[in-house]
Structure 1
Amino acid sequence: MTTINIPRATFPRPPLDPDLVAVQDSLPKAYGFGTPEDLAAARERMNFSIEATLRGHEDTISHSDLDIPGPTGPLRATIFRSKQHTQSPADTPGILHIHSGGHCQGNRFVGTGLVLDWIESLGAVCLTAEYRLAPEHPQPAQLEDSLATLKWFSAHAAELGFNPHKLIVTGGSAGGNLAAGVTLLARDRAGPEILGQVLSYPWLDDSNETLSMQQFGDLLPWSKLHSIDACNFALGTNREHADIYTVPGRATDLSGLPDTFIDVGSADVFRDEDGVVAEIAY
């Protein structure tokens, strides 16, 4: 990926939504995962509960927990279903959601808000699962766990009640990184079949030097310092774990991939790396 290294003063950052300015002003100065205590505190903040996840959706969505086989042991997962839709499995899409958290924090419930809306509107069956976290488990641990989840989900489509030919992979931020990575792997390893991928502000690059990273890297909840630390945790300080699957922005051949939707805002640290990938694809 081409690195854009232009002084921020040359291109002032787009203004934030006025309602968010006060929120940003109330937050502490941007920080990273500089100490084990910082990482432990971040993990505690990102340990979402099923109760908080389903708040406001209790009457429309059911859930069930299970363990699915992973490369090094069971992966805890949750299935979400609509309580209202009654269409046949042939008409029911499946959604694999991969959670965010920079590969080093978060659990399977992080980032599910948008997916819950899809379950309600489309009657989709959704699977979201845990994966091993960095730095204890650098890449490709997160990628291989996510691929194992994809394979299990596709193979059990009939049992779960969805059409395996209508399987969508989605994730935001680091979840978008993993969604793009498993989609590339599925292409290069001859399956499972993926109908499309929805990548929300995906983390696709490891340079941390794009213009948007310079413009917005001082803001929380995800700063440039977070991104640098997370890249070092997951990919190694010398990027020994970086390839086209763990850093999808490095892929130059995007042929044979399913339809892809990339969603990123103008005031987002990942804006420009997402834009470069979109230009390569189209």
Structure 2
Amino acid sequence: MKPLLAARVLMAPAKTPAEKRANWTRYTNAIAIPRPAHILTEDRIVPTPDHAVPVRIYRRDGQEAGAPAIVYLHGGGFMLGDLDSSDSNAWGLCDQTGAAVVSVDYRLTPEHPFPAAFNDSFGVLSWLAAQGGEIGVDGARIALCGDSAGGSLSAACCLAARDRGGPAIAAQALVYPTLGADPILPSYIESKDGPSLTTESMIYYNDIYFSGWRFAADPYAAPLKAPDLSGLPPTFIHTAEFDPLRDDGREFAGRLALEGVWVSYREARRMLHGFLRMREAGSQGRAEFAALCAFLREHLA
């Protein structure tokens, strides 16, 4: 975790969304892992009912048509992040799973609070299921993967797909997700001062996304508030030991198990929020990323 903490020193005091986004760009650039030559990308615009959504498609060089696909939804508190800041995570998933990865540049707060990001994410998922052949993937073999805010969006898309009769989703992987828990769970107290993410910051980001808590109980904004979690696809929940959001993942995993959903819960010991970006910093980082990719490979086979 030392490289992750060292990079956070680059983040100057910031108040406005623009200042926070500039910090995020400096931070993610500092810890980015260069994309290898055998991972090819294509940027395009996906038409959805609400918005024309930019995406970046990742494929291995020589990948045959009909490969499975992963919809990747980046983190950043619903306010930060774009296709470039999430590039390392997206190409890593492509490289280690063999699937095509569609990274989604969903709309951000505060300009676009809930449900904009959810609508963009579900719109891309629906387009991929129906039109995947256009980009050479199998629209019947799709997984969702998201970290932090992207974990919330992934879980929300799975709930919506169940409620709306599709698209079919093979699996979902949620990495240190924010899922709308009230900030009174033990991890919000134990790790309230970070150091990678603070409880105060998470309350701030959620407050804006929920429009002052107007949507704090909407299951598509806060999946933990869903009254019924049955009927969801196989789920991998990956949390960090020292993260205010750890217990969002724990609570969600427990409820899924009780409601009959196949779930695997993995807690990265001695790690912080954001560890996915540190997969090359040491053997434990590599092992954590490998576990995530193994789950996705298994359920997309």
Question: TM-score, with normalisation over the residues of structure 2?
Answer: 0.76
Q: Post-superposition shift, 1:204?
A: 0.7
Q: Residues 217-238 of structure 1, C-alpha deviation per residue, up to 9 Å, x if partnerless?
A: 2124321121111111010224
Q: Is residue 2:205 matched to residue 1:230?
A: yes
Counting aligned pairs with the same residue, the percent is 30
Q: Paired residue for 1:211?
A: 186
| Letter aligned with residue 258 of structure 1 | P
In structure 2, the partner of 1:273 is 248
Give CA-to-partner distance per residue, 1:52-74, whole Å, 9 cap, x none.
Answer: 89853331101111111134432
| Paired position in structure 2 for 1:43 | 21
Inter-partner Cα distance in structure 2 for 1:175 and 1:273? 14
Shift in alpha-carbon separation, 1:220–1:97, aligned structure 2, 3 A = same
Corresponding residue to 2:82 among 107, 114, 128: 107
**What is the alpha-carbon distance in structure 1 between the residues aligned to residue 39 and residue 187 of structure 2?**
37
Aligned length: 257
Tell me which protein shows more strand as a share of its residues. Answer: 2
| Matching of residue 62 in structure 1 with residue 40 in structure 2 | yes
Unaligned runs of 5+ in 2: 258-301
Q: How many Å apart are 1:208 and its aligned residue? A: 1.9
Mark the runs of 5 or more structure 1 residues left unpaired by the alignment: 1-16
Matches within 5 A, 1:81-120: 81-86=59-64, 88-89=65-66, 92-120=67-95
Alignment of 1:183-262 (within 5 A): 183-240=158-215, 242-262=217-237
State the structure with bigger RCO (CA 8 A, min sep 6), 1 or 2: 1
Shift in Å, 1:266: 1.2
Q: Is the 8 A contact 2:72 2:103 kept in 1?
A: yes
1:132 and 1:114, CA in 2 relative to 1: closer, same or farther beyond 3 A?
closer
CA separation in 1, counterparts of 2:107 and 2:132?
Answer: 24
Aligned-residue Cα RMSD (Å) equals 3.0
SS of the aligned residue for 1:266 comes to strand
**Residues 73, 279 of structure 1: CA spacing in aligned structure 2 closer, same or farther, 3 A cutoff?**
closer
Paired with 2:122 and 2:31, the residues of 1 have a C-alpha distance of 24
Say whether the 8 Å CA contact 2:152–2:178 is kept in structure 1: yes
- Between stretches 228-237 and 166-175, larger displacement belongs to 228-237
DSSP-derived class of the 1:186 partner: helix
Residue 182 of structure 1 aligns with which residue? 157
1:263 to 238, 251, 258: 238
Question: SS at the partner of 1:138?
Answer: coil
Structure 1 Cα separation of the partners of residues 158 and 55 of structure 2: 20
Residues 194-220 of structure 1 show CA distances to partners (whole Å, capped at 9, x for unaligned) of 100010011012422221111112124
Question: What is the CA distance between 1:29 and its match in structure 2?
Answer: 11
AA matched with 2:72? H
Residue by residue over 1:137-171, the C-alpha shift from the partner in whole angstroms, topping out at 9 and shown as x without a partner, is 11111111111111111112112222222201010
User: Separation in 2 of the partners of 1:137 and 1:225?
Assistant: 21
Quickly say closer, same or farther: Cα 1:21–1:99, change in 2 above 3 A.
closer
SS in 1 for 2:240: coil
